[in-house]
Structure 1
Amino acid sequence: MSAVMEPDTQRHVRERRRERELSALPDLVKPGWFPTRAQEVVDTRTVQAVRVSHILLETESLAELALERLRQGDVDFADLAEVASICQATKQDKGQVGWVSLKDDFLDPIMPLEVREAAMALKPGDMTTVRSGRGVHIVKVEDVMALLTPTASQPRSKMPGSGQLLAASGLSRLFKKTVGAADGLEGERERESEWRYFVDTMGCQMNKADSERMAGQLESLGARVTDDAKGADIVVLNTCSIRDKAEQKVYSALGPFAARKRSGKDVTLVVAGCVAQQEGERLLRRVPELDLVMGPQYANRLGDLLEDVANGNQVVATEPTFIMEDSTKPRRESSVAAWVNVIYGCNEHCTYCVVPNTRGVEQSRPMESVRREMEELGALGFKEVTLLGQNIDSWGRDMHPKRKFSDLLHHVADTPGVERIRFVTSHPRYISERVVDAVAEHPSLMEYFHIPFQAGDNEVLRNMRRGYTRERYLHVIDRIRRRIPEVAISADVIVGFPGETEEQFEQTLDLMRQVKFDCLITAAYSPRPHTPAATWPNQLPDDVKEDRLRRINELAAQHAYERNLRYLGRVEEVLVEERNVKNPTQVMGRTRGNRLVFFDGDIAELRGRMVPVRVTEVRPYSLTGRIERGEEPFHYCESGLRRPSESRRGRERGRGGSSSRSSRLDEVLAELTSA
């Protein structure tokens, strides 16, 4: 006969059990050393050249003063070079020197060897001061050219169980044709339409952006896109490994393509993305029909890697490398909204996450490169840009000297032609008041934040190694909503993390009730390779995780519906993107708060236009409305209601306006002159 324990005794037993479980875990609060800068993991001997600009000044004190003003974002490098540099050879080009290497002796009169040596040790976005016989140079690296060094490149192997070689890639003919075209020769007697590629993208927005870049690389080689995967000559699977189900999807998708190759068909098989980076050469052993396995950091080097494949090799490229600017143009999936990468990689090392292992350390793009890409998009008619980063608030912290993400937002806010700017993903530990202020100040920055909280219990957050508390997260949300009352906030959350108790899960539900998210992306915990949490003994049963996922999804849908009720009857500014695939008489677009809206309209007339739409029906994750012609919508800001036309006129008065930049340049120039 079993004894019935008193409630206090039961609680004591639970606490002792949790103590034993936690004692078996590694030190969560003080993780081991992790690299945080690209120079710590990249073989810098692979750097062949860097693209640089410089400002030449007379003294070190002037150079240090100018460098500090550049770091603070008070002035643009190109503008300062044009008015302050004493280098007559580069002054009129706003300081641009171009590609330089140690062997470029002809550059000695402009950029002596000691300056080039210092530049070669930097990565894109870095600035430093170097003294030479000419004076003191402020050197800025804008791009890097690294020697391509695949992890493995081996002659094509034989088919398992036969003496026959795997079908040789027909890429050699494609590359011959490309070279022939470049030389003005006729080349192979093949129509370009015979070369087709197919890209299957799995996973997050970063993968979507990478796929667009890889598609651009393939089109630069003369290949053309096809929706017929079975008839494609080049097949690229851009993979995701965030959860086990996503990883298994890759092997399932590869099966038919591998069988096609075993049957003798001439098809080039490429696995890119996070599964490729995670598995590397193991993927070739498991699927020997593959031609190329490449990590995300090589997305803009696909053409170079395929040339190695065309020479008869199977190639694996997963080594850390500096990420170069892409010289080809991405093939955008939309003609209205575009992705723009601003930072690659992640340094956080949460205990459940594969991203630091698959995407590497953080590498920020120079703000000038980001602005240049956005200007090109604006000139092409794109109306919306989403800035991308795994941890976007970390932009600039890997640079020398360090920069702030708010600096980048101010720098791009007035990009001509780009009416809307979003950014994802923010981190509760790093998002700053300066970023919130930038969104409040610039009408082009949408009132929308995506800030994952992952769990609502402090112990679970500590075990996840998230670096913040529940209280800190709620403070961040409160601060944003006080500054921007009508802001839309979305988040990510994980249920069923190892050791999560029912009480701790209830804390997550309670946090949701306090915040009421506009949208919540939910997931049950999935153990991932090479992550600490995957090895812990206190894994939860699948039925517990499934039950918690069901309950959290129900609450998330309820909150999304409640948040959407505020739109009912209001006129919202909607950017029309595409036709509603389920109802051809309707178009679809998004509000400033990223809410999907459907309404009757002609896509040929409305695509890319800002349309006033009165909301007539709300659902948890979308709205329905009708066009209100002649009525201009309102949106909310810190000071109250404001019409979009007034907002657009207000851009010139903001910090990012050209007149404001000119006055700041005058101030810095006066300071340098008087120093």
Structure 2
Amino acid sequence: MKLITTLLHFLWVSSVSSFYLNPRYTRQQNTQLQATVSSKTPLPKYPTARGDDVDARRIIATGAGRLHLTAVRLHHILLATEEMAAASLHELRSGSVSFAELAEQVSACVVTRPKQGELGWVSVTEDPSSSNSSAEDPPESPNAHLDEFFPREAREKLLLITTKPGDVVMVPSHLGYHLVQVVDVMANVRKMASQRKRRTNGSNLLEALRRDTDLTYKMETMGCQMNTADAERMEGQLQDLGLRPSEEGQNPDVIVLNTCSIRDHAEQKVYSYLGPYAKRKRNGEDVTIVVAGCVAQQEGEALLRKAPEIDLVMGPQYANRIGDLLEDVANGNQVVATEATHIMEDSTKPRRQSSVAAWVNVIYGCNERCAFCIVPTTRGVEQSRPVESIVAEVEELVAQGFKEVTLLGQNIDAYGRDMIPKRKFSDLIRIVGGIPGLERLRFVTSHPRYMSLGVVDAVAETPTACESFHIPFQSGSNRILAAMGRGHTREKYLYIVERIRSVIPDASITADVIVGFPGETEEDFQESLALMEEVRFDNVHTAAYSPRPNTPAATMEDQVPDHVKKDRLSRINDVNKRIAVERRAALVGKTLEILVEERNIRNPIQVLGRTRQGFTCYMTGDIDELRGKTVQAEITSAKNFHLVGRIVV
């Protein structure tokens, strides 16, 4: 058996070695790229246009992000032979062992093995940037301290390969074979951003960055959970700079509008909202205006032309680096940051809106091209975070007292498919769900095209994973689903529902649906209603179709009149409400597990909590005593979309 295994490893290593040791980003390509940048040819924009390549490595390799990459954070495992390295890669690919565990078990590097293979930050430039040394005393590489256990020859081979955080690649050196994990990257985002013109304001902000002035900020967030998570990260950055949240009625010194472009006329809403702050600036006040999020990415420099009072326009991929960009604003510049970049890990801790439940991003962007959706254009291609980074964030949250974590992704089932080697979202559920001290684990949003039955099994087998699924179906008509470019059918969707109900009978299922998509007939609409009756969702987020710029659906023929959309939205809302009430009414008299989160703002003597299925429940109780605790509550009544319960002692 061992001989067969060895032969299989030898066969596998020949294919693996050719893949992992073949530089996909050569010096010649780098020279060509430098020439492109020095010319007037515009760099590829990020996120991508429809039909463009959706490989994150290819986009990053040919954009400003690659040019301004300054350092990479690495872990490595040193192995004596190519066969051992290939076998270890196979183990990592299977998900049966983590990189840290493997480093402790098999690495031949005595320096990094006790640190689970950690190399730390490695400069992408081997030669010193400047030196006053004499010829007799030549300057050392900034990475010279790594030479004894991760030689320069290995570092240079690694940097020839286009990688992204989460990748594991194999490179040889005279010491043996190195399995190298890219944990994080650092790019000079200030060089990537464009500075449009000098401005006279910014002196207060500059003083604040020097800790000489006490400034306040206000964060206004629209849209989905991804925007909420981005806002938490931006607030962490702002507070790390010394700014504090403004109080009610106080004029903030820095205003950040974190925008969403999922609905029509989103950019007009931005201009309307910014009106009072722009007026303050025109009146001579030193206020800094930031537009972030999806509208910022969508409109870019157009925002500055229409609202010249704006100081900073930044896409969602820069949420972790707002502090760096504000430095240029403080120096009097008007800044636009929308170019391609790796998603970098947070340099500061997010300012969480809750002390009980937290959002954790696991994959950014989306590679789908649904005809109605602008998200791939505004949030870019998929970039999965390394498992180790996710685990470290969740472990820190648990140490801080958080009880529940929700894993976030536009298309969360795609997690890991952009990595080398590929990972599975079902494995991530098991890994994060097994972190000691974590009480509840949730995730959103699933895509019927990619959701595997393994995810259902992982939820069933992981005690901390909540019995709750959010799977948008968007339409019950196969004809409309095809026009939308969804990549799944009504039958595929029902098959997933059947699997969930058979394995986890008590699971809740929620969804999204769009009515009035171009070409939708009354018959198509009736199929959506019939699907809702058949599945009996616990809740459905309904919306009338809204044309978005640069999406195929916006220019399709047979646009549905607004009055028809309004009528269908009203009718589907009635069905949704009726089924939701019936589903919750079935829980009356049952005793359920509730995690208490906050006070009921409408009734101070009540607390608000959620069941494992995600149902909101109000109960009489003292929030100071119960916050963060899991209680048993008898459900006494069911309202439209929430429950009322009585805590059982």
TM-score band w.r.t. shorter chain: 0.7 to 0.9
Q: 1:241 corresponds to which letter in structure 2? A: S
Q: Does residue 57 of the first structure (1) align with residue 79 of the second (2)?
A: yes
Partner of 2:509: 489
Q: Does residue 82 of the first structure (1) align with residue 104 of the second (2)?
A: yes
Deviation at 1:112, TM superposition (A): 1.9
Q: Does residue 176 of the first structure (1) align with residue 210 of the second (2)?
A: yes
Deviation at 1:195, TM superposition (A): 1.1
Indicate which of 47, 54, 57 corresponds to 1:36.
54
Q: 1:136 corresponds to which letter in structure 2? A: Y
Deviation at 1:168, TM superposition (A): 3.9
Aligned-partner SS, 1:341: strand
Partner of 2:69: 47
Q: 2:158 corresponds to which letter in structure 1? A: A
Indicate which of 150, 153, 156 corresponds to 1:117.
156
Contact 2:297 2:338 in 1 (8 A): yes
Aligned-partner SS, 1:111: coil
Deviation at 1:116, TM superposition (A): 1.7
Deviation at 1:208, TM superposition (A): 0.4
1:223-622 mapped onto 2 (5 Å cutoff) = 223-228=243-248, 230-622=250-642
Contact 1:150 1:315 in 2 (8 A): no
Contact 2:315 2:338 in 1 (8 A): yes
Contact 2:104 2:114 in 1 (8 A): yes
Deviation at 1:32, TM superposition (A): 6.8
Aligned-partner SS, 1:236: strand
Partner of 1:72: 94
Deviation at 1:566, TM superposition (A): 2.1
Deviation at 1:411, TM superposition (A): 1.1
Judge which range, 264-273 or 410-419, deviates more.
Answer: 410-419
- Aligned CA RMSD, in angstroms, stands at 1.3
Query: What does the per-residue CA deviation read over 1:324-373, in whole Å, with 9 as the maximum and x for residues that have no partner?
Result: 10010000010000000000000001111010000000000001100000
Deviation at 1:86, TM superposition (A): 0.6
Q: 2:441 corresponds to which letter in structure 1? A: I
Shift of the 141–490 alpha-carbon distance from structure 1 to 2, 3 Å rule, reads same
CA distance in 2 between partners of 1:600 and 1:312 (Å): 53
Shift of the 268–51 alpha-carbon distance from structure 1 to 2, 3 Å rule, reads same
Q: 1:74 corresponds to which letter in structure 2? A: S
Deviation at 1:227, TM superposition (A): 3.9
Q: 1:132 corresponds to which letter in structure 2? A: S
Partner of 1:153: 195
Deviation at 1:427, TM superposition (A): 0.5
Deviation at 1:106, TM superposition (A): 3.2
Shift of the 205–531 alpha-carbon distance from structure 1 to 2, 3 Å rule, reads same
CA distance in 2 between partners of 1:539 and 1:118 (Å): 54
Gaps of 5+ in 1: 1-30, 158-164, 178-187, 630-675
Q: Does residue 144 of the first structure (1) align with residue 179 of the second (2)?
A: no
Aligned-partner SS, 2:586: helix
Contact 2:475 2:514 in 1 (8 A): yes
Partner of 1:647: none
CA distance in 2 between partners of 1:264 and 1:243 (Å): 34
Deviation at 1:229, TM superposition (A): 6.6
CA distance in 2 between partners of 1:168 and 1:380 (Å): 36
Q: Does residue 126 of the first structure (1) align with residue 167 of the second (2)?
A: yes
Number of matched residues?
577
Partner of 1:643: none
TM-score for both structures, normalised by structure 2: 0.87
Indicate which of 163, 172, 176 corresponds to 1:135.
176
Deviation at 1:131, TM superposition (A): 1.3
Partner of 2:146: 107
CA distance in 2 between partners of 1:606 and 1:248 (Å): 43
CA distance in 1 between partners of 2:249 and 2:194 (Å): 27
Aligned-partner SS, 1:456: coil
Judge which range, 110-119 or 502-511, deviates more.
Answer: 110-119
Partner of 1:215: 235
Q: 2:146 corresponds to which letter in structure 1? A: L
Aligned-partner SS, 1:353: coil
Judge which range, 484-493 or 58-67, deviates more.
Answer: 58-67
CA distance in 2 between partners of 1:585 and 1:49 (Å): 53
CA distance in 2 between partners of 1:569 and 1:467 (Å): 41
Contact 2:360 2:407 in 1 (8 A): yes
Deviation at 1:83, TM superposition (A): 1.6
CA distance in 2 between partners of 1:172 and 1:476 (Å): 54
CA distance in 2 between partners of 1:123 and 1:405 (Å): 18
Q: 1:213 corresponds to which letter in structure 2? A: R
CA distance in 1 between partners of 2:90 and 2:249 (Å): 53
Aligned-partner SS, 2:210: helix
Query: What does the per-residue CA deviation read over 1:522-545, in whole Å, with 9 as the maximum and x for residues that have no partner?
Result: 000000011111011221110000
Contact 2:77 2:108 in 1 (8 A): yes
CA distance in 2 between partners of 1:448 and 1:315 (Å): 42
CA distance in 2 between partners of 1:318 and 1:386 (Å): 27
Contact 2:599 2:607 in 1 (8 A): yes
Deviation at 1:572, TM superposition (A): 0.5
Deviation at 1:150, TM superposition (A): 3.8
Q: 1:392 corresponds to which letter in structure 2? A: I
CA distance in 1 between partners of 2:255 and 2:483 (Å): 40
Shift of the 228–35 alpha-carbon distance from structure 1 to 2, 3 Å rule, reads farther
Shift of the 547–323 alpha-carbon distance from structure 1 to 2, 3 Å rule, reads same
Deviation at 1:151, TM superposition (A): 4.1
Deviation at 1:47, TM superposition (A): 1.5
Aligned-partner SS, 1:218: helix
Contact 2:202 2:331 in 1 (8 A): no
Partner of 2:23: none
Contact 2:588 2:636 in 1 (8 A): yes
CA distance in 2 between partners of 1:432 and 1:273 (Å): 30
Aligned-partner SS, 1:613: strand
Shift of the 610–246 alpha-carbon distance from structure 1 to 2, 3 Å rule, reads farther
Contact 1:150 1:319 in 2 (8 A): yes
CA distance in 2 between partners of 1:171 and 1:469 (Å): 53
Aligned-partner SS, 1:412: helix
Contact 1:58 1:136 in 2 (8 A): yes
Deviation at 1:169, TM superposition (A): 4.8
Deviation at 1:620, TM superposition (A): 2.4
Contact 2:77 2:178 in 1 (8 A): yes
Aligned-partner SS, 2:527: helix
Judge which range, 288-297 or 81-90, deviates more.
Answer: 81-90
Query: What does the per-residue CA deviation read over 1:634-661, in whole Å, with 9 as the maximum and x for residues that have no partner?
Result: xxxxxxxxxxxxxxxxxxxxxxxxxxxx
Partner of 1:203: 223
Contact 2:50 2:377 in 1 (8 A): no
Judge which range, 537-546 or 276-285, deviates more.
Answer: 537-546
Contact 1:229 1:235 in 2 (8 A): no
Deviation at 1:295, TM superposition (A): 0.3
CA distance in 2 between partners of 1:114 and 1:440 (Å): 47
CA distance in 1 between partners of 2:471 and 2:492 (Å): 12
Shift of the 612–587 alpha-carbon distance from structure 1 to 2, 3 Å rule, reads same
